[in-house]
Amino acid sequence: MMSFFSYLLNGISLGAVYAIIALGYTMVYGIAKMLNFAHGDILMLGAYTAFIAFNSLGLPIPASALLAVIVCTLTGILTERIAYKPLRGANSLAVLITAIGVSYLLQNLALLIFGANPKSFQSFIPIKPLHLAGGALTIPGETIATILTGLIVAAGLLLFVHRTKAGQAMLAVSEDKGAATLMGVNVNATIAMTFAIGSALAAVAGILLCSAYPSLTPTTGAMPGIKAFVAAVLGGIGSIPGAFLGGVILGILENLSKAYISSKLSDAIVFSVLILVLLVKPSGILGKKITEKV
């Protein structure tokens, strides 16, 4: 029984990482109607920045994490300005191909700069493990920190979107860019801010992921990025609570599948569940059905 709770908590922790990445996906899609498939690679960039800042520059953990967030935020803004802004009026296929191109560009730049050999990432989480049931159940500090961070990030985003002027501007742009412009909303600045927030979250997710699974390579963000997109779709892309719920469900499914069925089949099981959910509810668990007027 204790092993089941351990697998469950680890699954929730992994799901919280997917949720943080998925929140970036869902915000960008909700406001700009773009799928930024380079999001996972920005996660990788954040992890490398934190790694170099801590190990090579000798910065303390808080400063290293802050530098990673700043670098990822600036990268997100620059990527939106150079790669995505010129394609706002283009069809979705052009945007998708561009996003894949940006993803491979970031991966190959990391390969040239850092090499293919894995880096051993030291945990940035100072929390000590929690021992319960007389030591029968041990919860690592990384698990505690990741779950709490996921909850704080989701709650903070909800408050930001619904209680601030910038958040209201995001909602307005999400509904109708043209009408938002007429109402005085700076659409370009709002979309850039959305990419900035999503990229900052990717940096946080990268640090948490590599603290729990201490191996860093240029492809570290590839699979978590895809799974976070799956989580966003599963929960209902465009919905902040949906992205969080989808991430947690995905993490639990993946971890329990590895523990009780097969580690080789866990990914197949996760994607199969996604297909089943979308067959029953195409808009996702918390997504709203959109009716198009003709």
Instruction: Indicate the length of the chain as a whole number.
Output: 294
Confidence check: pLDDT of 111 > 60: yes
Averaged pLDDT for residues 69-78: 95
Confidence check: pLDDT of 5 > 70: yes
Q: How many Å apart are CA 122 and CA 213, to the nearest integer?
A: 10
For residues 25 and 151, which has the higher predicted lDDT (pLDDT)? 151
pLDDT band for position 287 (cuts 50, 70, 90): confident
Q: What is the residue-averaged pLDDT of the chain?
A: 88
- Token readout for 194 is 């959305």
Confidence check: pLDDT of 291 > 60: no
Averaged pLDDT for residues 28-33: 82
Confidence check: pLDDT of 294 > 60: no
Confidence check: pLDDT of 278 > 60: yes
Confidence check: pLDDT of 240 > 70: yes
Q: 294: part of which helix (H) or strand (E)?
A: none
pLDDT tens per residue across span 205-217: 999 999 999 889 9
For residues 92 and 106, which has the higher predicted lDDT (pLDDT)? 106
Bridge partners of 138?
A: 131
The residue behind tokens 């989480």 is 125
Window from 51-60, 73-82, 144-153, 166-175 with minimum mean pLDDT: 166-175
Window from 17-21, 61-65, 110-114, 234-238 with minimum mean pLDDT: 234-238
pLDDT tens per residue across span 130-174: 887 777 788 888 999 999 999 999 999 999 998 999 889 998 988
pLDDT number for residue 104: 92
Confidence check: pLDDT of 25 > 90: no
Averaged pLDDT for residues 89-109: 88
Confidence check: pLDDT of 289 > 80: no
pLDDT number for residue 293: 45
Cα 23 to Cα 240, 256, 267: the distances in Å are 6, 23, 21
For residues 226 and 273, which has the higher predicted lDDT (pLDDT)? 226
The residue behind tokens 């920045």 is 49
With a CB cutoff of 8 Å and minimum separation 6, the contacts of 14 are 146, 212, 251, 254, 255
pLDDT number for residue 1: 64
In angstroms, how far is CA 188 from the centroid of its own chain? Answer: 22
Burial 87-113 (b: 16+ CB within 10 A, else e): beeeeeeebeebbeebbeebbeebeee
Averaged pLDDT for residues 230-241: 87
pLDDT band for position 177 (cuts 50, 70, 90): confident
Averaged pLDDT for residues 84-95: 84
pLDDT number for residue 292: 47
